[in-house]
Amino acid sequence: MARKPTGTPALQALVAAGVAHRSHEYEHDPRATSFGREAAEALGFEPARVFKTLLAADDRQLVVGIIPVDRKLDLKALAVATGHKKLAMANPEVAERATGMVVGGISPIGQKRLLPTVLDDSALAFETILVSGGRRGLDVELAPGDLIGLVGATVAAVATG
């Protein structure tokens, strides 16, 4: 009998694709409200290099925006980048159901199905970036180009302030 792969769907997808990556675990504080900033602080990385995965939606489709944890998602720019007229932040329950992951641990990698995804162009300034590994307390470090290829992301300026 074949063994079932271990780890989160994100880690499984990285291994299956042969993408070079490094896992970083930390003790998640259940009182934390800013999961991305918590990760940056706990792991000792500058916030501009740690990216959060956010879901937005119109009345028919979900889209993914990946931005630095110290910035906000520019919904207008994300709409333009994905060909939508207008987007709003997705309901957290809808985001969890669509991705199979909990808020604060949603990874752009290993989601139930590929959604249109946009990586903020600031990621290209770094050799590697960190994104959620599919659960709170786990981030993965990989090259932006590998992330783009793995999830079929486009690159655009979608972060503000």
Mean pLDDT score of the chain = 93
Across the range 8-36, mean pLDDT stands at: 92
Across the range 102-111, mean pLDDT stands at: 95
Domains of the chain, each with CATH number or no CATH? 9-160 (3.90.960.10)
Would you place residue 4 in the very low, low, confident or very high pLDDT band (cuts 50, 70, 90)? very low
Q: What angle do CA 20, 25, 6 make, to 5 degrees?
A: 65
Q: Residue 52 pLDDT > 60, yes or no?
A: yes
Return the structure tokens found at 9: 């769907």
pLDDT number for residue 6? 62
Q: Residue 31 pLDDT > 90, yes or no?
A: no
DSSP label of 47? G
**CB-CB contact of 54 with 65 (8 Å):** yes
